[in-house]
Chains A and B, each alone.
Chain A
Amino acid sequence: MGDILSIIAKRLGLGLITLLVISIIIFFAVELLPGDIAQAVLGQGATEDNLAALRAELGLDRAAPVRYFEWLGNAVTGDFGNSLVSKTSVTEAISARFGNTLFLATYAAVIAVPVAILLGVLVALFRNSVFDRVANVVTLTSISSPEFFLGYILILFLAVKTGMFPAIAKIDDDMTLFDKLNRTFLPALTMVLVVVAHMMRMTRASIINLLSSPYVEMARLKGVPAWKVIVKHTLPNAWAPVINVVALNLAYLITGVVLVEVVAVTKRDFPVVQACCLIFAATFILLNLAADVGSILTNPRLRHPK
């Protein structure tokens, strides 16, 4: 076990370094954009005098590395500065939205991951049957359609025509968990439909990939029933690629849902852009780290060294 802990510690350290590098890229990428913040904020009303005044106020007259370390130091403590547009704290603005995003992403993931893996096992078991084909067509159709289109279709059938779920998914803190889940069911379902196909197909592919291995033939020749061959003899060896795809899709759920960043970029609200980028980068790194650790833990050679 000591080996695994040290592997995890190493990965964690590498993850932190990656994050640091990304923070540098984010900060200086923003610096590279034409014009500066002061110009962007003042727009057409910019004169030499008030530009200089605003630059001084925002601290833009100092050297970039100095500002980088200041920004990084504050970011580590959770302070991302103030929005240039609304003048309010970026951390506050993001945390509320990020909380909602996390809620929705978790909701979707809790449904999508088990469903995808179960479906993947089933289509592997009944491979090349009608069931396999139908499952493939349905999930591929849903992954190929844009989210907003899927959303409208679901609203049309599940909200407007049958009235089973509310069409508007606004939630607040006073609601009970059940209410929240009910309100956000349609957006969650949209996300589920978008991510299930990828994970299901990877589960199917990595199981089928192993079906021609000698130990699977051995299991069959020992008289092990077909479902047990899949669940007991291939699935435990098929985890690594599946886990990686799951992590990728979870990251997509968290970072792909939000549209705020588009708005922020067009308005040149740099503190918001930087904060979002950093949070998303951290999410990606964390999830990939989790996937790495997961792959290691499912590998018996690493779990039980000689």
Chain B
Amino acid sequence: MSQDKSVLLKIKNLRIEGYSDEKWIEIVHGVDLTLHRGEVMGLIGESGAGKSTIGLAAMGFTRDGCRISEGSSIEFDGMELTTTPASDLQSLRGARIAYVAQSAAASFNPAHKLIDQHTEAPVQYRIKKRLESQEDAMELYERLRLPNPREIGFRYPHQVSGGQLQRAMTAMAMACRPDLIIFDEPTTALDVTTQIEVLSAIRDIVDQFNTAAIYITHDLAVVAQMADVIKVLLKGDEVEEADTRTMLENPKDDYTKSLWAVRDFKRDQKPRPTEGLPLISVKNVDASYGDTPVLHDVSFDIFEGMTVAVVGESGSGKSTTARCITGLLPPTSGEVLFKGQPLPPDYRNRTKDQLRQAQMIYQMADTALNPKVKICDIIGRPAQFYSGLHGPELKSRVDELLDLIELDPSQYYNRYPPELSGGQKQRIGIARSLAADPTFIICDEVTSALDQLVAEGILRLLDKLQNELNLSYMFITHDLATVRSIADEVVVMQYGKVVEQGPKDEMFKPPHHEYTDLLLSSVPEMDPDWLTTLLEERGVDDIGEAARASKQED
């Protein structure tokens, strides 16, 4: 089939300013971009690189507090968006350029049914009648492999799972058959297994309607599957652009090379100590939320100085297990042993020393740190509480902790969390857990909210601390790349049960448990053919192919 490959979007010298501290600061510094019809361009970079800002600007949209500078040009299909009146831009966004947001759960209005939100734009711009558009929605749902496609649209967003919502949002973006779709990190919030479904759905539907797309992500392996062309951004500047294969095989710029190298961090697997009791031993633990049982007979051991990764999709019971260990959720049966001694199930009955031994680091450093409290107090509080330090002793302890997490005490001692970057906040979270002088730390998805480069820094730091302080980690994650780099042992959970566990090297070698295999094979790889090969292996028929066939029948 010959498809129109003419230029659709031409951005020239795009400069965008943001308003902060009572002045305008340039955040995108003259980026050029050319996109042809049917082409998918991947925009990658760390947070703050200006990916989303550029993506939105391609729709002629800026967030509140941002503006496009004079001299920028955004030409969409012959129309100059920087000078187009607001009302025309509005109808353009409804009909010809669509947007798929990162979190579908937050981007669907909770007050309306999915299908009503789907039909909104087509009806508003008289592209389709309501019933026609509803029929089309159901067809799209079916192509995107949503269960019960004729019925699912009549549910409210909270009645549908995250992966399904993300596909419904892709369907919604297709409602007017736009020429261009901006995908803004559409799979970042999803599990690997769900991510595959959404990725293949997006790829097929874009392919099938010859829709051009800008695919924004910080995940290189994902962009390798999706994009024809990749553009790398850093702090609002273009680093380089090339077609996907060239970029993967032969990155030119040092920054791009460093991005590629992130996945290289790997430390050697440590064996279990030959003697002695495990530090933490979870024995036959069952737990429930109210009347709903969530954990079934969970057992595993964590030895001193080792890292045990607990992996599984969301809802598999990883965090609940952590809550049982810390005593936040007393198990309904079974027990947790610390050096062979049973811990009281409820944290309120534990001694200060027992509490001190097990600390936590959380996923969202943003919300886990009180924004109104100084760094020295955030770290100083547990040091004071557990070790009874005061005055100069406390100060030197906090300084020591800041040194440990590689932040200069003289610079950070008196600052507040909002003044720090995401990676620095997570370091403060680590320091706070270390302040109690624990032997065991639960790391709950500590790197999943961070960019790859920053995340790697955190992993290296955790590894260094483990060596220096002989810490044991329970590492909760759904990211198998992280597991590969730092774990000694792996516990795989599904539906509240442990389905497989063992030393990492064995776990990453076949034969696997069926579910482990599914998880492992779902982790995107840098090979641009990975997704295609995987779908073929899994025997998934090509959705695009089937749809094209059905179209010809019409």
Contacts and interface: CB of A to CB of B under 8 A. Distances in A.
Given A214-B103, A304-B159, A223 B95 contact: yes
Interface residues of B, number: 31
A215 B108 contact: yes
Interface in A110-156: none
A43 interface: no
Nearest to A239: B111
B106 A225 contact: no
A300 B61 contact: no
Interface string A212-255: 11110111111111001000110011000000000000000000
Interface in B53-96: 56, 59, 61, 63-64, 90-95
Interface stretch (B117-125, B192-200, B451-459): B117-125
A218 B159 contact: no
Contacts of B91: 223
A301 interface: yes
B94 A222 contact: yes
Contact of B124 (A220, A225, A300, A304): A225
B101 interface: yes
Contacts of A222: 93-94, 98-99, 120-121, 172
Contact of B110 (A212, A228, A232, A300): A300
A223 B90 contact: yes
Contacts of A224: 94, 120-121, 124
B64 A212 contact: yes
A306 interface: yes
B18 to A, nearest CB: 15
A214 B158 contact: no
Given A223-B91, A223-B94, A300-B111, A215 B159 contact: no
A74 to B, nearest CB: 44
Interface in A47-88: none
Nearest to A303: B156
Interface string A168-185: 000000000000000000
Interface in A268-302: 300-301
Interface in A174-221: 212-215, 217-221
B246 interface: no
A233 B111 CA distance: 8
Contacts of A223: 90-95, 121, 124-125
Given A237-B109, A237-B110, A304-B159, A221 B103 contact: no
B554 to A, nearest CB: 27
Contacts of A233: 109, 111
Contacts of B95: 223
Contacts of A217: 63, 101, 107
Interface of B: 56, 59, 61, 63-64, 90-95, 98-99, 101, 103, 106-112, 120-121, 124-125, 155-156, 158-159, 172
6 contacts: A215-B110, A222-B99, A222-B172, A233-B109, A233-B111, A237-B111
